[in-house]
């Protein structure tokens, strides 16, 4: 479980300070999947960094699994907005990095790493280096790296932004299947309203400057959902249309 | 096709340069004392190959010893100075300034301080290639991209893990930039020291050939220096390809 209480974060800028997030109140229940949408620069990445313990809030408190966040923890995985792969390691080697950092046996992790790479459609690419992979492939390697430790809390920052529409749907379906099989407490940042509605239990809309919670929408649509077919369901269409309106207004504010 | 081109074009260029040089000496009747033709240089080498090879060996020994010391000391210093941000900030400008001082100027002083043996030569080589190695390695160690630093923090990496698994490998390509500059300068340093203090080495051969007006011999020594310098440079390049094959790929 993740709980944020009146969390604000400002950054020092040239003359004044930039308020990236302002008094955010948000709880994500154990095993819940929350999607966060909002315009560019409204503080989505900052929100994930705060939960991951990479940044400290200027004010307010954050707890993960009941304890206050003091810094990064091994059961919290962050998939960054950039793939951030090590250029000297193969896809497999990159996925195994968290295993090595946790000083766990590499051999045990390797089997799971291969399965994950196969699952995201990189079966023939285990031994390729990042420079031999497309942007979308690199992003999928980063996804596997975030998943390998089977984290209790999974934070994802636009994990599918570099993918084409069809691969994106495949990946979303994979992620949904993984989540149904073993629900991690998930915060998923995306720019795609459809994706948010497809994957999330609740969708949080942030408004920019300063980042505030504009609206929280519960998505009560039975799973498994699929982008292709569920998109036509009236309930989905309604959610998407509503979020679109909120997001459009949030931009003007 | 591209392979033929990549190997063939440099060879073609070299052969053409030789041909122009040779025909110029023949057409204009330039005396070999003034500008020897390629065969004169080969002849000069064949007159005393053992002597020339021995002096080459002596230059190689000075160069490699000095370079080796500079690399080991340079890497250690760079790692130490980048361990603390404040220390790095304080020392980097000094190092960059020292790097731009022409070290060859101290060659005569080194003889005064250290005598006529190999020591002042090795010290000059160390001085001349130490700073590029330090500065390049420091640059590499401090250029870790923000997202990789964040990654290692988010994985709760220990200081040692972050260093060995991320920061150090990331620095290798830039470190090799320093090593490549360093090895070229090392040969120059050795020759300058030998010219200044002509007790041995190819630099001494050049000085002696001057006093005996044996220009082809000087050219033979210069040719050997060029070969030596190129060979050492490509040795470092080969090591780079072996250790950081990915660097070429990401720098495009
Ligand atoms: N380290 C930092 N230093 C200064 N300002 C920062 C820093 N990180 C973020 N900001 C500022 O905070 C605001 C929110 O940034 P953030 O990266 O969280 O946005 P975002 O919602 O993730 O945007 P995008 O969708 O483009 O990724 C921006 O105005 C940004 O300039
Ligand atoms: Mg962002």
| Neighbour-count burial of A17, counting CB atoms closer than 10 A to its CB (0-12 exposed, 13-18 middle, 19+ buried) | exposed
Tell the burial category of B221 from Cβ atoms under 10 Å away from its Cβ (0-12, 13-18, 19+): buried
Q: Both tokens of residue B87?
A: 């220390």
Question: Residue B185: which of B121, B105, B126 has the closest Cα?
Answer: B126
Among A7, A8, A11, A48, residue to substitute to test ligand 1 (most atoms within 8 Å of Cβ): A11
Main-chain dihedrals φ then ψ at residue B201, nearest 5 degrees:
95, 170
Secondary structure of residue A186 in the 3-state scheme = strand
User: Cα(B78)–Cα(B58) distance, rounded to whole angstroms?
Assistant: 30
Q: Do B250 and A52 touch (CB under 8 A)?
A: no
**Pairwise CA distance, residues B19 & A154, whole Å:** 69
Q: pLDDT tens string for chain B (252 positions)?
A: 566 677 788 889 889 998 998 898 888 888 888 888 888 888 888 999 999 999 999 999 999 999 999 999 999 999 998 888 888 888 888 888 888 888 888 888 888 888 888 889 999 999 999 999 999 999 999 999 999 999 999 999 999 999 999 999 999 999 999 999 999 999 999 999 999 888 889 999 999 988 888 889 999 999 999 999 999 999 999 999 999 988 877 665
Q: Do A97 and B169 touch (CB under 8 A)?
A: no
**Cα–Cα distance, B147 to B160 (Å, whole number):** 18
The SS3 of residue A26 is strand
Q: Rounded to the nearest 5°, which phi and psi values hold at A179?
A: -70, -40
Rounded distance, CA B60 to CA B44, Å?
21
For chain A positions 71-130, those within 8 Å of chain B (CB to CB) are 71-74, 76-78, 80, 82, 84, 86-88, 97-98, 100-102, 129
Residues of B in contact with A71 (CB under 8 A): 156
Reading the block at residue B131, the tokens are 């700073």
Q: What is the pTM of this model?
A: 0.85
Stated length of chain A: 253
Give A120-148 pLDDT, tens digit per residue. 889 999 999 999 998 889 999 999 999 99
Say whether pLDDT at A229 is over 80: no
Strand partners, A62: A4
Task: For chain A, say whether B249 makes contact (Cβ under 8 Å).
Answer: yes
Q: Model ipTM?
A: 0.89
Q: Is the peptide bond before A210 cis (omega within 30 degrees of 0)?
A: yes
Q: How far is the CA of A161 from the centre of ligand 2 (A)?
A: 11
pLDDT at B206: 92
Which pLDDT does position B225 carry in this prediction?
94
């Amino acid at each position: 479980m993740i709980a944020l209480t009146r969390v604000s974060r400002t950054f020092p800028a040239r003359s004044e300070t930039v308020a990236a997030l302002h008094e955010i109140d948000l709880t994500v229940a154990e095993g819940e999947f929350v999607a966060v949408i909002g315009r560019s620069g409204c503080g989505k990445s900052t929100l994930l960094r705060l939960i991951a313990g990479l940044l400290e809030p200027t004010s307010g408190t954050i707890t993960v699994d009941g304890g206050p966040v003091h810094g990064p923890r091994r059961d919290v995985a962050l998939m960054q907005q950039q793939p951030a792969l090590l250029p000297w390691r193969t896809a497999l080697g990159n996925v195994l990095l968290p295993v090595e950092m946790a000083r766990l046996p590499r051999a045990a992790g390797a089997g799971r790493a291969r399965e994950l790479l196969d699952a995201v459609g990189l079966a023939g690419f285990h031994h390729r280096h990042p420079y031999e992979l497309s942007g979308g492939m690199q992003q999928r390697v980063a996804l596997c790296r975030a998943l390998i430790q089977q984290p209790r809390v999974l934070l994802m920052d636009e994990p599918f932004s570099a993918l084409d529409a069809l691969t994106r749907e495949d990946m979303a379906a994979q992620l949904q299947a993984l989540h149904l099989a073993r629900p991690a407490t998930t915060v998923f940042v995306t720019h795609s309203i459809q994706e948010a509605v497809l994957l999330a239990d609740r969708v949080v809309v942030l408004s920019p400057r300063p980042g505030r919670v504009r609206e929280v929408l519960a998505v009560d649509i039975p799973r498994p959902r699929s982008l292709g077919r569920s998109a036509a369901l009236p309930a989905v269409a309604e959610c998407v249309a509503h979020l679109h309106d909120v997001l459009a207004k949030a931009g003007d504010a | 096709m591209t392979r033929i081109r990549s190997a063939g074009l440099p060879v073609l260029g070299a052969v053409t340069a030789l041909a122009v040089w040779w025909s110029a000496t023949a057409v204009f009747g330039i005396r070999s004392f003034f500008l020897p033709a390629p065969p004169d240089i080969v002849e000069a080498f064949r007159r005393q190959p053992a002597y020339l090879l021995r002096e080459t060996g002596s230059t190689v020994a000075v160069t490699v010893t000095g370079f080796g010391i500079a690399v080991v000391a340079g890497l250690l210093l760079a790692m130490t100075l980048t361990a603390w941000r404040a220390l790095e900030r304080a020392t980097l400008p000094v190092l960059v300034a020292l790097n731009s001082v022409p070290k060859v100027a101290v060659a005569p002083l080194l003889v005064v301080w250290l005598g006529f043996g190999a020591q002042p030569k090795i010290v000059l080589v160390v001085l001349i290639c130490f700073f590029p190695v330090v500065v390049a390695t420091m640059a590499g160690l401090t250029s870790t991209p923000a997202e990789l630093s964040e990654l290692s923090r988010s994985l709760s990496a220990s200081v040692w893990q972050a260093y060995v698994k991320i920061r150090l490998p990331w620095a290798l390509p830039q470190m090799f930039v320093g090593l490549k500059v360093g090895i070229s300068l090392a040969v120059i340093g050795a020759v300058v020291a030998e010219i200044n203090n002509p007790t041995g080495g190819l630099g001494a051969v050049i000085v002696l050939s001057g006093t005996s007006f044996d220009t082809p011999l000087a050219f033979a020594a210069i040719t050997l220096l060029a070969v030596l310098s190129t060979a050492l440079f490509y040795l470092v390049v080969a090591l780079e390809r072996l250790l950081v094959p990915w660097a070429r790929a990401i720098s495009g």
